[in-house]
Amino acid sequence: MKAMILAAGRGERLRPLTDTVPKPLVEVAGQTLLGRHLRRLADAGFERVVINVSHLAESIVERYGDGSRAGLRIEWSREAAPLETAGGIAQARGLLGEAPFLLVNADIWCEFDFLRLGNFQLENRLSHLVLIPNPPWHPEGDFSLERGVIGNAPTPRYTYAGIAVISPRLVADVVAGRKAQLAPLWRAAAVRGEVTGELYEGLWSDVGTPERLAALEARLKEP
């Protein structure tokens, strides 16, 4: 299975840091967010990774190149302007191929074991999502989860962790080069019973603001 890391966002809420440092190169505990993902993917047996880039793209590409130093083969999908989640996948379709792939947001920090999804079989489904208990900054959650099936019920709801296995068929109708979000596609697929999921309750953080970045750094320094 290939993996794709979404790394094209501007990181507006992390400014002014991200005016000069692309969010995937923000460091936590001495490691860049992107570099840690690459190391953990290689450790889990992944060999090929597609990464989309836009804001300060060349500094990211120059840092990791073809991926050989990380024990991977990296293919870069460049976007003149960020195309959002589904748009980024549609733009990279030619690199991803037709098989399901692992999707990871560049701006998360977690200890989820990617090895568990390396051979995940979607069968006739379009996606399998990893969810987490709702963090304080997102109390309403994104999706419901019942018996391993993602839905849109009002309760109980959980938050998307930024980790999923996706069939390229999910974005079949998204035009390459146009902005599009994954969430509406997942909600529509959930109505048809085409999305499964699981709950992860381990260490996880969305490094989306200076406050969350500082809180994560402090937590990782705890004995």
Q: Of 99, 217, 96, 116, which is closest to residue 163 (Cα–Cα)? A: 116
The secondary structure of 72-85 as a DSSP string is SEEEEEE-SS--HH
Q: Specify whether the backbone of 65 is left (phi greater than 0), alpha (psi in -120 to 50) or beta.
A: left
User: pLDDT tens string for the chain (223 positions)?
Assistant: 999 999 998 877 878 877 888 999 988 888 999 999 999 999 999 999 999 999 999 999 999 999 999 999 999 999 999 999 999 999 999 999 999 999 999 999 999 999 999 889 998 899 999 999 999 989 999 999 999 999 999 889 999 999 999 999 999 999 989 999 999 999 999 999 999 999 999 999 998 888 888 888 888 887 6
The dihedral built from the CA positions of residue 154, 204, 106 and 138, taken in this order, carries a sign that is positive
C-alpha distances in Å from residue 41, one per residue of 38, 49, 160, 194: 5, 9, 19, 26
State the Cα–Cα distance between residues 79 and 198, nearest whole angstrom.
Answer: 31
Q: Which CATH architecture has domain 3-221?
A: Alpha-Beta Complex (3.90)
Domain boundaries of the chain, sorted by first residue: 3-221
pTM above threshold 0.85: yes
